[in-house]
Structure 1
Amino acid sequence: MNNGGPDDYHIMRIELPFCLMIFYRVSKKMMISAGEASGELYGALLSREVKRLWPDTEIFGIGGPRMKNEGVTLIAPISQVVGIVEAVKHTGEVRDTFRKAKEALVTKRPDVLVLIDYPDFNIALAKRAKAAGIPILYYVSPQVWAWRRGRVKTIALLADRIAVLFPFECEYYKETGLPCEFVGHPVAETINITQTKEELKKDLGLAPDRDVVTLLPGSRPAEIKRHQAIIKGTAEKFHHEFPGVQVVVPLTAESNLPEGLPDYVKVIRARTTEAVACSEAAAVASGTVTFETALTGTPMVVFYRVSPVTYFLAKLLVKVEFISLVNILSGKRVVLELLQEKASPDRIFAEMKRILHDMPYRNDMISDLGKIKALMSGKKPSQRIARMAGEMAGW
């Protein structure tokens, strides 16, 4: 009979880890860094797909309410900063977020790190992850085609793979040796309009027999505050000249207009796609929503304002002819862009009137928007990114 002597103790010491290896299940871990609103949406869609493929995965990182709703543990919130001057005012907030992100890399040790755009922050975080030997997937290339092209080499040295939203972007990484794949734009996954305009209007509480125009001020508080007078002035012009037209301002669930709007303006929350899809024309603050509007086929005018200093610096640094994704992807002016002082109610209203009444102009614009939608045909970016990340993590 075995009495548990020294030899038996030695055997137990060896066999216990072996047993644990058989029965212990190592959890899967993914970290996502999505520094701003649009990237946070992509992070939420990615998280949903990862949870579908690997339900036991622990996902944590920098994000917002949509990522949290998909089961992501947030270590810090996304930034609401827009522009160079605005960023300087929030350096303390950014530093605190970066500190938490660094700590998470060490304490949680993810199997893979997914970086979504937000280049200055995420490139710095990538350096820490690279030193720790954590695989890095860069999802959504910074706009290297617009400015600071030197970031291409930096990203190539740090990331293991990069996934881009538009086909032309892979050309910029071609000479670096970094594996690059065009996966399509995740916003296209969120647009699945099957209803008629009349059905959409009814569903949104609008009169189905009256035309709709939408005015989109942006999603961040600073954007909304800066554009509010433009939105209000444009709405007034429509109400005065076309009182039968329904003026709609779509906002996110969390957004507010500080000064409010007249009663004849209908504010619709968390239904931007539907509001734009049932519209005859839209005025859109430059950003991802211009691409979303293009995918609905709704003709538009694009506008934007930033602080004078930010605009001056941008003019020095940014080397592109257009600012809207619609025009950049088309390689020509499809929609009118009105910036800074040109982004006035008078000019916006005049362009929207042309869209509504100049039928050849309107039809040409709609045709060009259809070509942008065709670029995304057959693409399932969130599913592809999830599988890429899983491959890199060894799942």
Structure 2
Amino acid sequence: MRYYLIAGEASGDLHGANLMKALRLVDAEAEFRFLGGDLMVSQGGDLVKHYKEMAYMGFLEVLMNLPAIMRNLKQAKSDLLKYKPDALVLIDFPGFNLKVAEFAKQNGIKVFYYISPKVWAWNQRRVLKIKKVVDKLFCILPFEVDFYKTWGMEVDYVGNPLLDAIAAFEADKNFREKHGFSDKPIVALLPGSRKQEILKILPEMLHTANRFPNYQFIIAGAPSFTADFYTQAAFGTQALPVVFSDTYNLLNCAHAAIVASGTATLETALFHVPQVVVYKTSAVSVAIARTLIKIKYISLVNLIMDKPVVKELIQEDCNPQMIAEELEKLLDGNYRHEMQKNYIDLSLKMGSPGASEKTAQLILQTLTNKH
């Protein structure tokens, strides 16, 4: 079978790569063409466009980059028609991917959506569009199944692919030594994977780091950036070490973490690292988001548990003073231990690994039933 995949950011690249690996196990003839990243490239096939040319965050940033987004969309549609895949597999990235799904459906291409768009957060009526343009939808968060049922849509819960990635992780015992880190306890800084969010969030993290001389703060670098970018993004604050493509080893060694809202909050929790979740973007984007978003929390940890397990510091609350106060509580004592107890419950709720394999089997089963 010929598969065309679209992932528009770092987390999608990770999940896309794992899915490609699983598809090849169930379909020896699998061929891939994709918009994605380096991890997907490592699985073979042809890269059409790298996600670093596609990822824009926030309403204002999307508006400012609309011509580039429209060019990317036009290219994806044209390339999709030329390739004529047996299946289009869309991974998250809904603003872009739902437009491609509509186009594919009009042209008789089978559409699979892996990692459901977060329509439960805002613009819930988009479910009606999903019902029309997506043949099969795979969810990775437990509460999504019930949400879609309220809209009369049956979906498959396949578990969460992060569990696959973490299960496959093998800790490097020489991680500290390899990077020249001291024996001081580590606080991991995960400022996100998009340029705009790093520029907003990283300086707040670095100003916080200055207040904790007995800890070493280490940045998890996104693979699409260089060390120089992080130095520039620091805006004159103290330069800190950056670790690229080794976030799991960093989390495995971390005593605590400061994490930008996104997939990384769930990864940090699954490594049982106490964390404070932060987020900051343009004032216009936040003002719009606050009128549209219909959820109580922004972090996946709190959404899955349906309670405030981790503290969320958003926009004006994302400042060195408030981050430092929260971090202080995470370093020792009951608050820290209570969070880690909640993490155990979270892990049980998430279930076992195997999301990629389940999804691959369901895709192939649907395709073979078609013929």
Distance across 2 between alignment mates of 1:204 and 1:393: 47
Distance across 2 between alignment mates of 1:348 and 1:177: 42
Distance across 1 between alignment mates of 2:148 and 2:237: 49
Partner of 1:50: 23
Distance across 2 between alignment mates of 1:80 and 1:73: 20
**2:242 aligned with 1:249:** no
Match 1:327 to one of 302, 305, 309: 302
Structure number, greater radius of gyration:
1
**Worse-matched range after superposition: 78-87 or 103-112:** 103-112
Partner of 1:76: 49
**2:318 aligned with 1:343:** yes
Partner of 2:349: 375
CA deviations on 1:93-132 (whole Å, 9 max, x unpaired) are: 2112211221233221111111112222222211221122
Which amino acid counterpart does residue 156 of structure 1 have in structure 2?
K
Which amino acid counterpart does residue 74 of structure 1 have in structure 2?
L
Q: Can you give the 5+ residue segments of structure 2 that lack an aligned partner in the other structure?
A: none
Structure-to-structure mapping, 1:241-320, within 5 angstroms: 242=214, 245-255=215-225, 256-257=229-230, 258-259=232-233, 265-320=240-295
Contact 1:112 1:392 in 2 (8 A): no
Q: 2:243 aligns to what SS in structure 1?
A: strand
Sort the Cα spacing of 1:263 and 1:40 in 2 relative to 1 into closer, same or farther, 3 A. Answer: same
Contact 1:183 1:379 in 2 (8 A): no
Sort the Cα spacing of 1:120 and 1:195 in 2 relative to 1 into closer, same or farther, 3 A. Answer: closer
Contact 1:156 1:176 in 2 (8 A): no
Q: Can you give the 5+ residue segments of structure 1 that lack an aligned partner in the other structure?
A: 1-27
Distance across 2 between alignment mates of 1:338 and 1:354: 14
Partner of 1:143: 118
After TM superposition, the score normalised by the length of structure 2 is 0.91
Distance across 2 between alignment mates of 1:320 and 1:232: 29
Contact 1:250 1:267 in 2 (8 A): yes
Distance across 2 between alignment mates of 1:131 and 1:161: 16
Q: 2:208 aligns to what SS in structure 1?
A: helix
CA apart distance, 1:156: 1.1
Distance across 1 between alignment mates of 2:239 and 2:184: 14
CA apart distance, 1:252: 2.4
After TM superposition, the score normalised by the length of structure 1 is 0.86
CA deviations on 1:230-251 (whole Å, 9 max, x unpaired) are: 1220111112xx3xx2221111
Which amino acid counterpart does residue 248 of structure 1 have in structure 2?
I
Which amino acid counterpart does residue 222 of structure 2 have in structure 1?
T
Q: What is the root-mean-square deviation in Å for CA atoms of aligned residues? A: 2.1
Distance across 1 between alignment mates of 2:255 and 2:123: 38
Q: 2:212 aligns to what SS in structure 1?
A: helix
Between the two structures, name the one with larger relative contact order (CA 8 Å, sep ≥ 6).
Answer: 2
CA apart distance, 1:203: 5.3
Match 2:337 to one of 363, 369, 388: 363
Distance across 1 between alignment mates of 2:151 and 2:176: 49
CA deviations on 1:110-159 (whole Å, 9 max, x unpaired) are: 11111112222222211221122221111111112211110111111221
Partner of 2:39: 66
CA deviations on 1:159-182 (whole Å, 9 max, x unpaired) are: 111100111101122255544111
CA apart distance, 1:384: 1.2
CA apart distance, 1:295: 0.4
Contact 2:207 2:237 in 1 (8 A): no
Q: 2:55 aligns to what SS in structure 1?
A: coil
Q: 2:159 aligns to what SS in structure 1?
A: coil
CA deviations on 1:4-33 (whole Å, 9 max, x unpaired) are: xxxxxxxxxxxxxxxxxxxxxxxx201112
Which amino acid counterpart does residue 140 of structure 2 have in structure 1?
L
Distance across 2 between alignment mates of 1:44 and 1:81: 21
Match 2:6 to one of 30, 33, 41: 33
CA apart distance, 1:383: 0.9
Partner of 2:155: 180
Contact 1:152 1:172 in 2 (8 A): no
Partner of 2:208: 234
Contact 1:47 1:72 in 2 (8 A): no
Match 1:215 to one of 170, 181, 189: 189
CA deviations on 1:203-225 (whole Å, 9 max, x unpaired) are: 55433x43111122111111111
Distance across 2 between alignment mates of 1:34 and 1:49: 16
Match 1:128 to one of 92, 103, 109: 103
Partner of 1:18: none
Contact 1:218 1:224 in 2 (8 A): yes
Distance across 2 between alignment mates of 1:152 and 1:346: 40
Distance across 2 between alignment mates of 1:32 and 1:264: 38
CA deviations on 1:347-379 (whole Å, 9 max, x unpaired) are: 11111111113x111111001111112223323
**2:77 aligned with 1:99:** no
Sort the Cα spacing of 1:77 and 1:259 in 2 relative to 1 into closer, same or farther, 3 A. Answer: closer
What is the percent sequence identity of the aligned residues? 33
CA apart distance, 1:307: 0.1
CA apart distance, 1:199: 6.0
**2:199 aligned with 1:225:** yes
Which amino acid counterpart does residue 228 of structure 1 have in structure 2?
L
Sort the Cα spacing of 1:105 and 1:269 in 2 relative to 1 into closer, same or farther, 3 A. Answer: closer
